[in-house]
């Protein structure tokens, strides 16, 4: 694989550097956070993207063509992402991009639509799900992502919370609070999830802000304690989640924590220790230890950067593999269309309405998904796991599955 490093940052252990042109094969952009505020989850996801594309190249490519991908570590800084995008739309234009964050992805919505470049993001913002701008401020016709939106994922968690409150015999309304940085990513599901929490009978409190960067969050935890919240949704990524949970343990907070899909993973549970016990969060694909058919392919892909095959990959790595393989199969379908593998043809293939689509070889790994020209909510299935970390033993188990309705008014929200 050939790679260009843009924006002056080093992307370690992802690929060998070199030049890439469209003449070499299918040019795909790869914008990743390896060193920025969300790098704790950005690194394994970026590795999964790179490993999957390298594995595809080593096994015949896409319709016999190699994927040539250019990677930029934009360090979670929107201007760097914009600069990377500008380069990817130069003389050798990428036909698709595997992107990362909410701030940069939403900033590029109009550009990727104008340039007709399908943008497969690791941002699952509900704002990206309305391709025609039916219910949102602007349409996002060229934006795709694998997994439930942040809004639907949070809706699934508050659905679990409402049922959990009843099971506990809770008196009156359960109190729910959103916690996260004042940033496009943590903010993306806030209004949508809060509205659904109210609909389910929860009392929604004023939000509590804490930084995406790890730190001492005792002040926020004391505010949480004073609020009387019963359920707290953590909207940041795993690095700051660890700090928040430990800080809250120190000041004696007794709250049921809920976390978004990037809010924790296997390594984070270990790092947070008993502070993360009983944490409930969203897992959007199979886990490394799941005994499902598709994990055979995931483990082979993992050997691209871990020849020994002994490294246990976190859930984020596995979702990255799913993202690449949906793109791959859309490219294969595009190759059979007039004009071949172009952005518009990839978009057409993604929107073909293939019901409950799971990429070949990934059965049991990727959630069955369906995209159409009117609705880019690939899946609204939300799987909630709960952690058990008492006594130094780290465990996680599926405790709830929600199938969030595809309400028209929730498209793009």
- The backbone torsions φ and ψ at residue 389, rounded to the nearest 5 degrees and listed phi first, read -130, 10
Per residue in 235-272, pLDDT (tens digit) is 999 999 999 999 999 999 999 999 999 999 999 999 99
- Provide the pLDDT for residue 283: 98
Q: 313-351, pLDDT tens digit by residue?
A: 999 999 999 999 999 999 999 999 999 999 999 999 999
Residue 407: half-sphere exposure toward Cβ, Cα within 13 Å: 10
When the pLDDT of each residue in the chain is averaged and rounded to a whole number, the result is 93
Residues 125 and 230 in one domain: no
Same domain, 272 and 164: yes
Residue 71: predicted pLDDT: 80
275 and 400 in one domain?
yes
In a domain, 50, yes or no: yes
Q: What is the pLDDT of residue 7?
A: 33
Phi first, then psi, for residue 28 (nearest 5°) are -130, 130
What is the structure's pLDDT at 15?
41
If pLDDT is split at 50, 70 and 90, which confidence band does 379 have?
A: very high
pLDDT band at 135 (very low <50, low <70, confident <90, very high): confident
Does residue 294 register a pLDDT over 80?
A: yes
Q: Is residue 370 part of a domain?
A: no
Q: 345-362: per-residue pLDDT in tens?
A: 999 999 999 999 999 999
**For the domain that residue 394 is a member of, what is the CATH number?**
3.40.50.2300
Q: Give residue 250's region: left, alpha or beta (phi > 0; psi -120 to 50).
A: alpha
Percent of the chain whose predicted confidence (pLDDT) is above 90: 91
d(CA 328, CA 346) in angstroms, rounded, equals 9
Q: Which residue has the higher pLDDT, 167 or 23?
A: 167
Question: Which residues lie closer than 8 Å to 105 by C-beta, 6 or more apart?
Answer: 99, 119, 121, 123, 125, 128, 143
**What does the alpha-carbon distance between residue 253 and residue 230 come to, in Å, rounded to a whole number?**
10
Same domain, 32 and 67: yes
Distance between CA atoms of 278 and 257, rounded to whole angstroms? 8
pLDDT value of residue 23? 62
Cα–Cα distance between 286 and 83 in angstroms, integer?
Answer: 34
Residue that terminates a domain, selected from 333, 350, 367? 350
Distance CA 179, CA 279 (A): 14
Q: What is the mean pLDDT of residues 392-409?
A: 95
157 lies in the same domain as 197? yes
Across 1-29, average pLDDT: 50
Phi, psi (degrees; rounded to nearest 5) at 398: -70, 125
Looking at the structure, tell me whether residues 104 and 136 fall in a common domain: yes
pLDDT digits (tens, 9 = 90+) for 174-204: 999 999 999 999 999 999 999 999 999 999 9
Quickly state the pLDDT bin for 92 (edges 50, 70, 90): confident
The confidence score (pLDDT) of residue 108 equals 97
pLDDT score at 91: 83
Residues 54, 104, single domain; the answer is yes
Which pLDDT score, from 0 to 100, does residue 138 have?
Answer: 81
184 vs 3, more confident:
184
> Residue 52 belongs to what domain range?
22-148+288-350
For residue 149, give Cα distances in angstroms to 123, 159, 188, 287, 379.
8, 15, 9, 19, 8
- Statement to judge: residues 276 and 294 lie in one domain: no
From CA 212, how far away is CA 234, in angstroms rounded?
11
The reply to whether 269 and 391 lie within a common domain is: yes
As a whole number of angstroms, the distance between CA 162 and CA 174 comes to 8
- CA 13/CA 46 separation, integer angstroms: 10
Q: How many domains are there within the chain? A: 2
258 belongs to a structural domain: yes
Find the mean pLDDT for residues 383-410: 96
Average pLDDT over residues 15-23: 43
pLDDT at 17 over 60: no
Tell me the whole-structure pTM to 2 decimals. 0.94
Q: What are 146-171's pLDDT values in tens digits?
A: 999 999 999 999 999 999 999 999 99
The pLDDT value given to residue 296:
98
Residues 253 and 394 in one domain: yes
Q: Is the pLDDT of residue 369 over 80?
A: yes
Cβ 401 vs Cβ 383: under 8 Å: yes
Q: For the chain, what percentages of helix, strand and coil (3-state, to nearest 5) are there?
A: 40, 15, 45
Residue 53 in domain: yes
- Cβ pair 339, 265 in contact under 8 A: no
Residues 252 and 399 in one domain: yes
Residues 120 and 86 in one domain: yes
pLDDT at 3 > cutoff 70: no
Domain-embedded: residue 373 = no
């Amino acid at each position: 694989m050939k790679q260009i490093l843009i924006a002056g940052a080093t992307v370690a252990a992802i690929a060998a550097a070199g030049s890439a042109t469209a003449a070499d094969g299918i040019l795909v952009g790869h914008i990743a956070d390896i060193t920025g505020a969300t790098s704790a989850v950005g690194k394994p996801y970026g590795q999964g993207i790179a490993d999957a594309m390298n594995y595809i190249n080593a096994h015949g490519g896409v319709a016999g063509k190699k994927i040539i991908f250019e990677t930029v570590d934009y360090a979670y800084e929107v201007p760097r992402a914009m600069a990377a995008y500008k380069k990817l739309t130069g003389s050798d234009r990428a036909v698709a991009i595997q992107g990362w964050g909410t701030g940069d992805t939403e900033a590029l919505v109009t550009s990727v639509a104008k340039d007709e470049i399908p943008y497969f993001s690791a941002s699952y913002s509900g704002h990206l799900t309305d391709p025609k701008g039916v219910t949102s401020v602007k349409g996002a016709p060229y934006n795709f992502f694998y997994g439930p939106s942040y809004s639907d994922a949070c809706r699934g968690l508050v659905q679990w919370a409402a049922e959990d409150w009843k099971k506990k015999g809770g008196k009156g309304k359960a109190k729910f609070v959103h916690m996260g940085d004042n940033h496009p990513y943590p903010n993306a599901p806030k209004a949508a999830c809060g509205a659904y929490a109210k609909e389910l009978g929860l009392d929604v409190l004023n939000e509590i802000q804490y930084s995406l960067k790890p730190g001492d969050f005792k002040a926020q935890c004391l505010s949480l304690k004073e609020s009387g919240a019963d359920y707290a949704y953590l909207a940041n990524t795993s690095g700051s989640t660890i700090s928040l949970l430990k800080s809250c343990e120190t000041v004696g907070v007794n709250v049921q924590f809920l976390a978004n899909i990037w809010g924790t993973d296997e390594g984070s549970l270990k790092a947070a220790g008993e502070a993360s016990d009983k944490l409930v969060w969203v897992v959007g694909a199979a886990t490394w230890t799941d005994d499902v058919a598709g994990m055979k392919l995931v483990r082979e892909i993992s050997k691209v950067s871990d020849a020994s095959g002994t490294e246990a990959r976190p859930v984020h790595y596995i979702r990255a593999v799913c993202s690449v393989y949906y793109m791959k199969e859309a490219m294969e379908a595009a190759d059979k269309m007039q004009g071949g593998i172009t952005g518009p043809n990839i978009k057409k293939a993604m929107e073909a309405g293939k019901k409950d689509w799971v990429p070949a070889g990934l059965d049991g790994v990727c959630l069955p998904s369906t995209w159409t020209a009117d609705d880019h909510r690939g899946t609204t299935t939300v799987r909630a796991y709960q952690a058990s970390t008492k006594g130094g033993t780290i465990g996680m188990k599926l405790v709830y599955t929600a199938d969030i309705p595809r309400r028209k008014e929730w498209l793009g929200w």
